[in-house]
Amino acid sequence: MKILLVYSHPNPGSFNHAIKETIVSELTACGHDVKVRDLYAIGFDPVLKSTDFLLAQQGKVADDVKLEQDFIVWSDMVVFVHPVWWFSLPAILKGYIDRVFNYGFAYTIDEKGVRGLLNGKKVLILSTTGGDEKTYTDTGMFKSLSQTIDGGIFTFCGFEVTEHKFFTSVPYVSGDERKKMLEQVTAIARALAVN
């Protein structure tokens, strides 16, 4: 399978980085063709500008957006690895969605209404939180994140969401608990090999 991994964390010492390294290693070992887009490392500009709208009116996109869209077109599955900050996506990833998942590429509107255009592609989301699982469950935050991210972005654009896995309390758990989380990442990657 051709898998694009979009990674959004600025700290190479972060647990998100460990997740990225683990899943890339395992997916590659399972024979998948994996490409990584580290949004901070490539200096992706997340700011949607007036020029983006002007280009859209001409049926065009900026070169940096086209490059990212080409990676998505190439892929069978997109894996997103990111922290949850302020109960949402990191700004750089939100800007990536704003600029790359644009009208005419990720969705359209016609006589049948709004339609996603990325049908046939799968998405896997691996997110970390500082908050604990009980709080996220009791406040309905898992449900809210699923509605806004899984449904409001990916399903809307035609993706099949295979899983959105949350790793909670990351700054506060022990090294052993983080190791168990990475074992779960490995299991998720291996499960993709049989699907």
Q: What are 19-32's pLDDT values in tens digits?
A: 999 999 999 999 99
User: Could you tell me the pLDDT band of residue 42, with boundaries at 50, 70 and 90?
Assistant: very high
pLDDT digits (tens, 9 = 90+) for 83-109: 999 999 999 999 999 999 999 999 999
Predicted TM-score of the model (pTM): 0.96
pLDDT in the model for residue 193: 67
Using 50, 70 and 90 to split pLDDT, how confident is the model at 33? very high
Region 103-123: what's the mean pLDDT? 95
**Nearest to residue 125, comparing CAs of 159, 179, 81, 62?**
81
Phi first, then psi, for residue 155 (nearest 5°) are: -65, -40
- For residue 136, CA distances in Å to 58, 68, 106, 148 come to 43, 32, 30, 15
Find where tokens 């035609």 sit.
158
- Helices within the chain (DSSP H only): 15-29, 50-57, 63-74, 91-100, 133-138, 141-145, 175-193
Helix (H, G, I), strand (E, B) or coil at 144: helix
Amino acid (1-letter code) at residue 113: G
Q: Which pLDDT score, from 0 to 100, does residue 194 have?
A: 61
Give the C-alpha separation, 143 to 131, whole Å. Answer: 15
Average pLDDT over residues 61-81: 98
Look at the alpha carbons of 6, 10, 15, 17 in this order and tell me if their dihedral is positive or negative: positive
Q: Work out the pLDDT band at 192, boundaries 50, 70, 90.
A: confident
Gap between the Cα atoms of 192 and 172, Å rounded: 29
Cα gap 48→9, rounded to integer Å: 20
Could you report the per-residue pLDDT of 137-159, keeping only the tens digit for each?
999 999 999 999 999 999 999 99
Structure tokens at 138: 């009791």
